[in-house]
C-alpha cells in the first residue's frame, strides 16, 4: 500500500487527510507558517501511575484558527524518566482536531508512582519545550511533605506575570489554579484603584468574547506569556475555573446582564469549551452534549493529605440581594438557596467520611469566611454576595462537615478576593478549619495600602491578617503543620520586580486555629 502524503496545497486547503496514513517522515514534512508550539506545554490531573499532557498547535496563535489548516494533524509525544530524554519510557501519537482548536490531551497510565517525569511534543519537524510532572504516591504510602502553589486572578491587561516566574523556581509537587485564568472584559481605559488613568501594561487582542473563537483568542493572548509557560512546564497543575472564564459573576445558568438563560447558555458553552481546550485536564472534563464542563475531583497524597476540589460556580443559585457587596436580605436565607448541588454535597460528605489522611484540604474558588465588609463607622453589615457570604446556609453545611471530621486538621485554600487573607473558620464559637486566601497574580494592578484593614479586623476577629499586594500562596503540608507562605510581588506594572514572603501562617496538627509561622 502506498502511503498518502498530502501536498502543501491540499493540507492548507483543509482537504481530508487521514492522519494514520502519515509516516513519521511525512509528518515532518507537514508545513506550518511558524513554530507550532508557541503556547507552550502543560501537564496535570496526576494519578499514581500517570497524568495528562497538554499542548495546542497554533503557529500563528492570534490569527483565525491559530494559523492552522482545517484538518486533523498527528502530534508525537514522549515521556522520559530523565530530563535529557535518554530513557524514553512511553511515546505515542495523538490527533490534534480542528474541532478542539488543535489542542492535544494525552492521558497516560502505567508509570511508576511518586516520581518525576519529563515530557515533550513533536510535530512537523519541530520539538516543543520540555515539561516536568510528578505522579502521585500510592494510597497509604508514607509522605513527608506536600508543597503546592495556589494561583489565579491573572488579568492579562493589569500586570506582568512575575509571580509565575517565582512559582517556576519553587520545588513544588503541583500548582492549584482557583480560576480567572482569563478575563472577559477589555480595559479600553486603564485606571488605578482610585479611577485615575494609568498607562496600559498590555491589552487583549480582541473585544469582549462571546463566541468560541473569541474565547480561544483570549487564551492565546494569555498563554503567550513566557512566565506563565515556565510555571506550567515546571510541575503539574490542577485547574478549576471561576467566573471570568465566562463572564463576571455568572452563576449556573444566569449571567450578570439579565440575559435569558437559554441565550446565556450559548456563551457559557463556548467559554467552557475554550477552557477545556487550553487546560491539562482529562477527557472526562470534555464538554458534554449540553455544554457542561465539570472539574470536580478528589486527590490523595498517601497518608498525609486528601484534596477535595468542588465546583462552586456551575451549580450555585443566582446571587442574592442584587449581587456584589450588599446588606443582608431575605433572599440570602431562602430555602434551597445553595452554593453546591445535591450530588456535590454527597460527594464532599463521602470524601470526608472515608478520609483516613492526616490532613484534608479544600482548594476551591471563592472565600468561605463571611466577613462583614462595612466601612469604619457604618452601622449596617455588608457581605460579598458572590462568595460563600451570599450563601450562609451552605457555609453552615460546609462547616458542619468540617466539625464532624477532624476540626483543626482541615484547611481551605481559595482566591478571588484580589488580596491575601488568613482566616479561621468558626462554627458557633468553635474553630473547625482555617483558610488561606491567595491574592491575585495581577488583577487590580500593583495593589494598595490596606486602608480598610482596621475596620475589617475590628468587625471580623476570625480574620488574622490582610495584605493587598499581588502574588500567590505557597502551601506546605507536613505531619506537624499546614503552612501558608504569602509570596508577594513588589509591583506588577513593572517587569521583574522582587518577590518576597510577606508573612507565613500555620495550623498545627490537632490544634485548631492559625498562628504566625
Residues 112 and 185 in one domain: no
What end-to-end distance do the CA atoms of the chain give, in Å? 69
pLDDT category of residue 510 using cuts at 50, 70 and 90 = very high
Which among 374, 258, 367 has a CA at the least distance from the CA of 318? 258
pLDDT category of residue 13 using cuts at 50, 70 and 90 = very low
Residues 226 and 307 in one domain: yes
94's grid cell: 495523538
Please, is 40 exposed, middle or buried when counting C-beta atoms within 10 Å of its C-beta (0-12, 13-18, 19+)?
buried
Helix or strand or coil: residue 502?
A: strand
Residues 88 and 166 in one domain: no
What are the beta bridge partners of residue 299?
Answer: 307
Percent of the chain with pLDDT over 90: 86
Backbone angles phi, psi at 439, to 5 degrees: -70, 180
Among 331-335, 377-381, 483-487, where is mean pLDDT lowest?
377-381
Predicted confidence (pLDDT) at residue 99 exceeds the cutoff of 90: yes
pLDDT category of residue 96 using cuts at 50, 70 and 90 = very high
Residues 102 and 190 in one domain: no
Predicted confidence (pLDDT) at residue 21 exceeds the cutoff of 60: no
Please state, in angstroms and rounded to a whole number, the distance separating the CA atoms of residues 45 and 476.
19
pLDDT category of residue 10 using cuts at 50, 70 and 90 = very low
Q: Are 489 and 445 in contact (CB under 8 A)?
A: no
Write down the pLDDT at residue 200. Answer: 78
Residues 286 and 413 in one domain: yes
Which among 182, 310, 158 has a CA at the least distance from the CA of 246? 182
Q: What is the pLDDT of residues 364-415, one digit of tens each?
A: 999 999 999 998 889 999 999 999 999 999 999 999 999 999 777 999 999 9
Number of domains in the chain: 2
Q: Of the residues 78, 104, 134, which one is the last residue of a structural domain?
A: 134
Write down the pLDDT at residue 119. Answer: 99
Q: Range of 365's domain?
A: 145-516
Beta pairing, strands 52-56 & 41-44: antiparallel
Residue 139 located in a structural domain: no
Pseudo-torsion of CA 137, 140, 145, 148, nearest 10°?
60
Residues 239 and 300 in one domain: yes
Which among 384, 357, 358 has a CA at the least distance from the CA of 371? 384
Q: What is the pLDDT of residues 244-264, one digit of tens each?
A: 999 999 999 999 999 999 999
Residue 201 located in a structural domain: yes
Predicted confidence (pLDDT) at residue 18 exceeds the cutoff of 60: no
Residues 368 and 288 in one domain: yes
Q: What is the CA radius of gyration of the chain?
A: 23
As a whole number, mean pLDDT of residues 480-489 equals 98
Predicted confidence (pLDDT) at residue 25 exceeds the cutoff of 50: no
As a whole number, mean pLDDT of residues 225-254 equals 98
Residue 218 located in a structural domain: yes
As a whole number, mean pLDDT of residues 469-496 equals 97
Residues 250 and 173 in one domain: yes
pLDDT category of residue 30 using cuts at 50, 70 and 90 = low
For the chain, give the mean pLDDT. 92
DSSP characters over 344-397: HHHHHHHHHHT--SSEEEEE-SS--S----PPTT--S--EETTSGGG-HHHHHH
As a whole number, mean pLDDT of residues 457-479 equals 96
Write down the pLDDT at residue 453. Answer: 85
Residue 443 located in a structural domain: yes
Residue 401 φ/ψ region, left for φ over 0, alpha for ψ in the -120 to 50 degree band, beta for the rest: alpha
Please state, in angstroms and rounded to a whole number, the distance separating the CA atoms of residues 346 and 339.
13
Residues 101 and 242 in one domain: no
Residues 395 and 420 in one domain: yes
Q: What is the pLDDT of residues 156-211, one digit of tens each?
A: 999 999 999 999 999 999 999 999 999 998 776 766 667 777 777 899 998 999 99
CATH number at 15 reads 2.60.40.380
Helix or strand or coil: residue 254?
A: strand
Residues 90 and 227 in one domain: no
Helix or strand or coil: residue 198?
A: coil
CATH number at 367 reads 3.60.21.70
- Select the more confidently predicted residue: 249 or 16: 249
Helix or strand or coil: residue 203?
A: coil
pLDDT category of residue 432 using cuts at 50, 70 and 90 = very high
136's grid cell: 502521585
Residues 130 and 186 in one domain: no
Helix or strand or coil: residue 244?
A: coil
Helix or strand or coil: residue 413?
A: strand
Amino acid at each position: 500500500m502506498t502511503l498518502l502524503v498530502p501536498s502543501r496545497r491540499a493540507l492548507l486547503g483543509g482537504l481530508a487527510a487521514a492522519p494514520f496514513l502519515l509516516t513519521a517522515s511525512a509528518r515532518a514534512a507537514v508545513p506550518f507558517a511558524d513554530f507550532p508550539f508557541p503556547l507552550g506545554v502543560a501537564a496535570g490531573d496526576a494519578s499514581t501511575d500517570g497524568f495528562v499532557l497538554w499542548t495546542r498547535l497554533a503557529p500563528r496563535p492570534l490569527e483565525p484558527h491559530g494559523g492552522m489548516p482545517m484538518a486533523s494533524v498527528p502530534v508525537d509525544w514522549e515521556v522520559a524518566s530523565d530530563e535529557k530524554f535518554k530513557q524514553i519510557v512511553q511515546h505515542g501519537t495523538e490527533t490534534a482536531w480542528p474541532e478542539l482548536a488543535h489542542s492535544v490531551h494525552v492521558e497516560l497510565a502505567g508509570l511508576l508512582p511518586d516520581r518525576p517525569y519529563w515530557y515533550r511534543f513533536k510535530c512537523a519537524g519541530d520539538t516543543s519545550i520540555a515539561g516536568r510532572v510528578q505522579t502521585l504516591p500510592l494510597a497509604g504510602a508514607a509522605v513527608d511533605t506536600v508543597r503546592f502553589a495556589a494561583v489565579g486572578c491573572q488579568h492579562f491587561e493589569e500586570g506582568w506575570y512575575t509571580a509565575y516566574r517565582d512559582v517556576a523556581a519553587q520545588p513544588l509537587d503541583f500548582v492549584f489554579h482557583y480560576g480567572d485564568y482569563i478575563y472577559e472584559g477589555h480595559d479600553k481605559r486603564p485606571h488605578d484603584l482610585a479611577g485615575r488613568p494609568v498607562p496600559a501594561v498590555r491589552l487583549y487582542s480582541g473585544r469582549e468574547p462571546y463566541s468560541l473563537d473569541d474565547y480561544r483568542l483570549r487564551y492565546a493572548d494569555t498563554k503567550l506569556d513566557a512566565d506563565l509557560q515556565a510555571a506550567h512546564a515546571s510541575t503539574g497543575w490542577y485547574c478549576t475555573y471561576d467566573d471570568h472564564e465566562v463572564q463576571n459573576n455568572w452563576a449556573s445558568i444566569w449571567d450578570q446582564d439579565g440575559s435569558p438563560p437559554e441565550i446565556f447558555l450559548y456563551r457559557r458553552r463556548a467559554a467552557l469549551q475554550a477552557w477545556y481546550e487550553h487546560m491539562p485536564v482529562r477527557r472526562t472534563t470534555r464538554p458534554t452534549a449540553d455544554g457542561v464542563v465539570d472539574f470536580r475531583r478528589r486527590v490523595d497524597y498517601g497518608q498525609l493529605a486528601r484534596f477535595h476540589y468542588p465546583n462552586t460556580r456551575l451549580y450555585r443559585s443566582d446571587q442574592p440581594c442584587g449581587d456584589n457587596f450588599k446588606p443582608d436580605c431575605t433572599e440570602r436565607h431562602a430555602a434551597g438557596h445553595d452554593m453546591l448541588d445535591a450530588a456535590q454535597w454527597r460527594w464532599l460528605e463521602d470524601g470526608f467520611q472515608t478520609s483516613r489522611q492526616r490532613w484534608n484540604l479544600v482548594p476551591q474558588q471563592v472565600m468561605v469566611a463571611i466577613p462583614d465588609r462595612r466601612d469604619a463607622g457604618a452601622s449596617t453589615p455588608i457581605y460579598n454576595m458572590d462568595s460563600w457570604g451570599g450563601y450562609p446556609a451552605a457555609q453552615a453545611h460546609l462547616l458542619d462537615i468540617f466539625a464532624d471530621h477532624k476540626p483543626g486538621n482541615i484547611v481551605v485554600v481559595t482566591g478571588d478576593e484580589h488580596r491575601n487573607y488568613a482566616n479561621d473558620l468558626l462554627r458557633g464559637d468553635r474553630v473547625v478549619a482555617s483558610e488561606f486566601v491567595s491574592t491575585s497574580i495581577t488583577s487590580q494592578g500593583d495593589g494598595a495600602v490596606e486602608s480598610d484593614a482596621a475596620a475589617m479586623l475590628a468587625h471580623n476577629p476570625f480574620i488574622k491578617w490582610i495584605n493587598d499586594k499581588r502574588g500567590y500562596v505557597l502551601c506546605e503540608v507536613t505531619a506537624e503543620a499546614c503552612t501558608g507562605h504569602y509570596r508577594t510581588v513588589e509591583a506588577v506594572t513593572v517587569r521583574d520586580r522582587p518577590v518576597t514572603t510577606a508573612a507565613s501562617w500555620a495550623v498545627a496538627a490537632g490544634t485548631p486555629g492559625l498562628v504566625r509561622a
